[in-house]
Amino acid sequence: MFGKKKDRRHTVVDTLVGANSKIHGDLNFEGGCHIDGIVEGSVSADEDSNSALSISEQGTVEGGVTVPYVVLHGIVRGDVYATRRVELGPTARVIGNVYYNLIEMAIGAEINGKLVHQPEGQVALLEQTTRIDESAA
4 domain residue, yes or no: no
Q: What is the bridge-based pairing of β-strands 75-76 and 52-55?
A: unpaired
Q: How confident is the model at residue 137 (pLDDT cuts 50, 70, 90)?
A: low
Q: Which domain holds residue 40?
A: 15-136
The residue type of 71 is V
Q: What percent of the chain has pLDDT over 90?
A: 73
- Note the pLDDT of residue 121: 57
3 domain residue, yes or no: no
For residue 85, give the H/E element and its range. Answer: strand 80-88
- Residues 38-84: pLDDT tens digits? 999 999 999 888 999 999 999 999 999 999 999 999 999 999 999 99
Adjacent-strand bridge partners of 15: 33
73 domain residue, yes or no: yes
Query: What is the spatial distance between Cα 22 and Cα 40, in angstroms, rounded to a whole number?
Result: 8
Report how many domains make up the chain: 1
9 domain residue, yes or no: no
How remote is the C-alpha of 46 from its chain's centroid?
Answer: 12
6 domain residue, yes or no: no
